[in-house]
Each structure stands twice: as C-alpha cells, then as structure tokens.
Amino acid sequence: MMLGYLFPGQGTVRVGMGAWMRRRPAARERLDQVDALLTRPITPLCARGPLDRLVATEHAQVAVTACNLAALAVLEEEGYEPAVVAGHSVGELTALHAAGVLDLAATVRLVETRARLMAGVGATGGMRAVMGLPVERVEELAEAASAPGEPAVVGLENAPGHVVVSGAPPALDRVTALATDANKVVPLQVGNAFHSPLMADAVPGWAQAVRAAPMRAPRVPVVPNVTGEPTTDLATLREALIAQLTGRVLWTRTVAAIEACAPGVEVGDSKVLTGLSRRAEARCLSMSDPGTLRRLAKAVAA
C-alpha cells in the first residue's frame, strides 16, 4: 500500500515523546543511532525533560527529528514505502531522508545546524495562530499591523481557518487587537518569528550547510513547504530547503498535493498534522495512534 508520509515539526514536542517507540526494535535502534550521531544525546531530554529545556529551539528541532526518524524506521520494518513525502517546517529534513535525498548522518548534522542557527538569532519575535479567518484576511491584518522595524507576515498556512502570523511582538499585539472577526488568536510557545524576515540572520549559515550536504536525487516526489508542489528535481529541493527559513509554509497546499497522490500518515509522535489534514478534508492517520498500524495492515490485506 502506497502512502503519503507527513512528518511533524517543532510545535509537537512534549516530555515523554517517543516512549511508544522504545517498544519497537527498529525504532529503538534508530533512536540509538541518532543519539550516537548527535553532539549530545537527545532521547534522555525527550523522556524526562524538563519541558522548558525541551521546547527550546536548539533542542526541540532535534527531538522532533529523532522521533520522526524512529517512526519512519517502524514503517520501513513493516514493509511500507511512500508514494510522496512532505514535512512541516523542520519535518522537511526527515521527508528528504525518507525520499533518499539525505542519509541518516547528513539529516542529523543538518537538523543540529538548523536548530543552532535559528536559536542563535535570539528572541526578536514570536508567532500567533489566527483561527477562523481565510488567509487573505490574515494577510490584510498582518500588513495593517506592520510598522518600520516591526514586521508581521503570514508565516504558515496550516489549514483552512488556521493561519499563523510571525513577526515582532508589537506587531503581533496589533494583529491581535485588529482581529476582532477571528474566532481567537493564540500565542504559540516558540522562541522566535520563524518563517519570516526576522530569521534572515540565520540564512547565510544555513545556505552554506545545505549546499555542502551530500544529497541524491529523490526516489519519490517531495513536496517542499515553500512551493506546495511535488517535485523530484534535486536543485529545486535544495533551494526550497534554504528558502524555508524565511519563507511561508504552504501546508494547506501541501496536504492537497499529498491527498491527490495517496492517503496520508503522520510519521512521528504527534497528531497535529492529522488534525490539520482533517480540517482540509484530507485523509490522514497518525503513527502515535496505537491502532494505525493495525488499520494499515488491514487495508493492505483487503
């Protein structure tokens, strides 16, 4: 059975993440491999926290990637192969690994580099989810709230009625005040204004790391965040990975592209992307749901 693999991003971290994976030999081995490749093992922090340290950018991105890789190992052990892959924000690195573009060592090196560079920008901004409004309206709000030196932009189109604005704190406060027609505006627990111009200082180092990383042509199409369109062109994938740091995550379009190819499965320890897919009326199961593997096996046998 061919599936669309969706790999979650940084906003899915929690203490205890990856616990179910330790019961699967393939996942346990992959977590051990990732720990061995890292400058400092991440699984103890995933298991025991503390939460304030785990959610810090330099740790959260590594933790999510480790769990994504472990969940992927379970699917590989079960004999599944993707028809198409995508990853939400930092999850795009695991998607590239699943497609054969990056080997395990390169994936781990890149996520450590990405996390370090993005954390190094400093706390210059934040992010807020605007619920219940179309993206066009949220774009208007962000533009109206922006001021010289205080930008606000749409950073992520997560799903219909779920749009995230990234920007300087005063601009985000103005977005909240202006969004009287929204269902609600929710501050996100992140360290900066990801996917916005405020991350520009991290781009040169990231571009250097991505261009130096060994990559191979993908075995299956990858849907980059910044285009939302499947591609097997390696040059496009490399440049899209660089652009993603300051570019908008077109997740609604990405989910539609996956849905057009195959049913989706969220490969990690999260149900966030499964929920976003359902908001977009797309099919998706979560690996963190104990019944998912049973349902997949039943579908294959049918």
Domain count, the chain: 2
- Do 213 and 138 have their domain in common? no
- Please give the Cα distance from 232 to 215 (Å, whole number): 12
Mean pLDDT of 278-283: 95
- Please give the Cα distance from 147 to 233 (Å, whole number): 38
- Do 142 and 108 have their domain in common? no
- Do 44 and 181 have their domain in common? no
- Do 11 and 117 have their domain in common? yes
pLDDT at 297: 79
Mean pLDDT of 218-242: 99
Element (H, E) at 130: strand 126-131
pLDDT at 298: 76
DSSP character at residue 85: E
pLDDT > 90: percent of the chain: 91
pLDDT > 70: percent of the chain: 99
Give the pLDDT confidence of 84-108 residue by residue, as tens digits. Answer: 999 999 999 999 999 999 999 999 9
* Cis preceding-peptide flag for 82 (omega within 30 of 0): no
Task: Spot the catalytic one: 88, 166, 195, 286.
Answer: 195
Tokens 């890292």, residue?
38
Is residue 195 flagged as an active site residue? yes
CA torsion angle 201 202 205 207 (round to 10): -110
Task: With beta carbons less than 8 A apart as the criterion, state whether 38 and 58 touch.
Answer: no
User: Is residue 301 very low, low, confident or very high in pLDDT (cuts 50, 70, 90)?
Assistant: low
pTM of the entire predicted model? 0.96
User: Is residue 289 very low, low, confident or very high in pLDDT (cuts 50, 70, 90)?
Assistant: confident
Is residue 146 flagged as an active site residue? no
Task: Spot the catalytic one: 88, 89, 196, 288.
Answer: 89
Q: Which of 154, 175, 158, 131 is nearest to 246 (CA)?
A: 154
- Please give the Cα distance from 74 to 64 (Å, whole number): 16
Element (H, E) at 243: helix 234-243
Query: What's the mean per-residue pLDDT of the chain?
Result: 96
pLDDT at 258: 98
144: domain range?
126-190
